Amino acid sequence: MNPALKRLSLILLLLVTAALIGFGLYWLFKKATTPSPGGEITTQPGGQLPGAGQREVTTTGNVITSTELGRGNVLVPQITPQNTGYVPAPTVKQIISDAVSFPSVNSNGNIRYYNSSDGKFYKLGSDGQVKTLSDQTFYNVSNVTWAQNNDKAVLAYPDDSKIIYNFEKQKQTTLPKHWQDFTFSPDSNQVAAKSIGISPDNRWLVTINDDGSGTTLVEPMGDNADKVTMDWSPSRQTVAFSQTGQTLGADQKEILFVGLHGENFKSATVEGDGFEPQWSPTGEKLLYSVYSTRSDFKPELWITDSYGDNIDNNRQLLKLNTWAHKCTFSGDTTLYCAVPKDLPQGAGMLPEVASDSTDVMYKIDLKTGLKTAIDLGGDYNVTQINFDKVKNQLYFTDQNQPGVFQIKI
């Protein structure tokens, strides 16, 4: 064959081959992205693991819900033909960019906080505007205990000075320096504290009116002040917890409920050390975290009844490894918790080992035990969380970022 003709034939053959390959790729791509009858583009994910059985899963808003109920169930973001790898994140919005310390939400849904940069206290109003609570400057405040119903707080300073400051009346009441660990009454008109005298015989649990009047000795603490946790219940029945009950086993301890009038309440049994409590809005439920050998010394959450004759009834392990302070109630039967994704062994005893972890937010239905994972759409290490029942949203602070963040539920 003529060499020139031979080269021409070879070139034509290569062009035809390239055209066929291109057409084949086009046909495959078109088939993979053919619209479904509903008009949505669907793809067939490869390598899926076998399912665990029939389950109805739907997406509603920003979370995954399911008809599969039962204590201990956890729903997390799943890859499905309609959900290609993620659950749409809720709107996480930074609503305050200041250096926020000691934030709290009052009963009207307003965030109060201290800004250590300028020594001022602020409140985020319902109009979204940040306003000062007082023209006074409070330098070097080391701790703040807020009242729930009013803009009042106990302020502590590095030199052990303490005051009750009423921001509504711009009035200050000085407290003894040897008082510590404060908690406000549900109506915000009284404060309870530990009075730590030099002698164990002079160490008492006390209450005082917010104007400095009416000091009352409630219970002597003796050498056990470090075993008392101050936390006035919303029902007003309990003012503190005392870890002075019997040791029931290697990891079991008896927690006593301390009332205002020497009541002999039932006690609660906790499965570990590091007891950290949080009341439900009515005080009828108690959330707490403890750690033990069973949990590899990681904190784990429990819930129990906590009022009257029902104390210690219906005690349940929630099967979540986090601390009670990383949780907030939205009602007696609904809980939101920030749970570290990777919690090292021993984190219950040494929380600082979890300082680099990031959290998953869970909504927990305490009636059914259903836990729904909420994708926050970013990396957060929640340090404090509050629920605003007025606006039905969460507020939280982050260890690595300043300000306050909002999640609309």
Q: Which residues partner with 372 through β-bridges?
A: 75, 363
Rounded to the nearest angstrom, the gap between the alpha carbon of residue 215 and the centroid of all alpha carbons in its chain is: 34
Q: Does the pLDDT of residue 305 top 60, yes or no? A: yes
Decide the pairing of beta strands 100-105 and 359-365: unpaired
Query: How far apart, in whole angstroms, are the C-alpha atoms of residue 329 and residue 301?
Result: 13
**Weakest-pLDDT range from 6-20, 71-85, 292-306:** 71-85
Mean pLDDT of 62-66: 29
The pLDDT score that the predictor gives to residue 232 is 98
Among residues of the chain, what percentage have pLDDT more than 90? 70
Query: Cβ–Cβ contacts within 10 Å for residue 115, how many?
Result: 19
From the list 292, 290, 400, 295, the residue with the least C-alpha distance to 303 is 290
* Mean pLDDT computed over 132-139: 96
Annotate 50-65 with b (16+ C-beta within 10 A) or e (fewer).
eeeeeeeeeeeebbbe
Q: pLDDT for 363-379, tens place per residue?
A: 999 999 999 998 888 99
| 257-277 tens-digit pLDDT | 999 999 999 999 999 999 999
Cα dihedral sign, 336-342-348-354:
negative
**Is the per-residue pLDDT at 228 higher than 90?**
yes
pLDDT at 82: 32
Residue 130 burial (10 A CB sphere; 0-12, 13-18, 19+): middle
Identity of the residue numbered 52:
A
Q: How many CA atoms lie within 13 A of 310 on its CB side?
A: 12
Quote the percentage of the chain above a pLDDT of 70. Answer: 78
Q: Is the dihedral of CA 387, 140, 190, 284 positive or negative?
A: positive
Q: What is the pTM of this model?
A: 0.77
The half-sphere exposure of 232 on its side-chain side, counting CA atoms within 13 A, is 24
Quick one: pLDDT at residue 162? 98
Q: What is the mean pLDDT of residues 202-211?
A: 97
Residue 13 has a pLDDT of 53
Tell me: the pLDDT tens digits for 10-60? 555 545 455 555 545 444 333 333 333 333 322 233 222 222 233 233 222
Mean pLDDT of 80-105: 71
Q: What is the pLDDT of residue 26?
A: 42
Bridge partners (DSSP) of residue 74 are 371
- The Cα 258–Cα 237 span in angstroms is 8
* Other beta carbons less than 10 A from residue 252's beta carbon: 14
Question: Model confidence at 161, in pLDDT bands (50, 70, 90)?
Answer: very high
Cβ distance 57 to 64 under 8 Å?
yes
Residue 138 is predicted with a pLDDT of 98
Greatest C-alpha distance within the chain = 118
Residue 324 sits at φ, ψ, to 5 deg, of: -60, -30
Provide the pLDDT confidence category of residue 351 given band limits of 50, 70 and 90: very high
DSSP assignment of 94-161: EEE-S-EEEEEE-TTS-EEEEETTTTEEEEE-TTS-EEES-SS--TT--EEEE-SSSSEEEEE-TTS-
Mean pLDDT of the chain: 83
Assigned token pair, 101: 């310390």
Copy the structure tokens of residue 166.
């009423």
Higher pLDDT, 123 or 125: 123
pLDDT for 146 beyond 70? yes
